Homo-oligomer: A and B are copies of this chain.
Amino acid sequence: MILETNIDDMNPEFYQYLFEKLFGNGALDVFLTPIIMKKQRPGTLITVICEKENANKLKEIIFKETSTFGIRYYEVLRHKLDRDFSIVETTYGKIRVKKGYLDGKLIKAYPEYEDVKAVAEKTSNSISDIYRNVMRHIDLLFFKD
């Protein structure tokens, strides 16, 4: 289920709080798109992706926390990769890795951003250096090429 609403008259400070509320109440994803609305207004399109059973609760949050008077919604299908998680031992310690399978075949594996960030905050290395190091461990473990 997709929920969408256009906002052209709300203080942009409130979006962060809105994100937290929506993610805390079952939103699968939330994102903002800059748009141009009538009367020269730089508006924002809010898109919320959720399961059908959470839609009502999320709509109520949007109505309460934003300035909107109307929410559009429609159903979409979702093709998701099968996924599981591994813990990978790297130079920097254990890191969670998210893996995706297409037709039973492992096609991608990425480290969890929060784990990489946590390492970056504890060392003087750059986050991209750590990410690359972690990727190397992942690739050697899961991929042959």
Interchain Cβ contacts under 8 Å between A and B, 10 examples: A7-B12, A10-B12, A31-B36, A31-B37, A31-B43, A32-B35, A34-B34, A39-B40, A65-B126, A69-B81
Chain B residue, CB-CB nearest to A61: B126
- For residue A15, give the distance in angstroms from its CB to the closest CB of chain B: 5
Identify A72's interface contact among B4, B69, B78, B140, CB under 8 A: B78
Chain B residues with CB under 8 A of A145: 91, 125, 129, 133
Complex CA distance for A23 and B38, rounded to whole angstroms? 10
Chain B residues with CB under 8 A of A76: 4, 72-74
The verdict on A136 contacting B139 (CB below 8 Å), with A9-B113, A70-B79, A79-B70 known, is yes
Contact indicator A40/B42 (Cβ below 8 Å)? no
Chain B residues with CB under 8 A of A143: 129, 132
How many copies are assembled?
6
Query: Which bucket holds chain A's interface residue count?
Result: 35 or more
Contact indicator B38/A42 (Cβ below 8 Å)? no
Complex CA distance for A125 and B15, rounded to whole angstroms? 16
Besides A15-B41, A39-B113, 11 more A-B contacts (Cβ < 8 Å) are: A10-B128, A12-B37, A16-B39, A32-B42, A49-B72, A59-B79, A69-B80, A69-B81, A69-B83, A70-B81, A91-B145
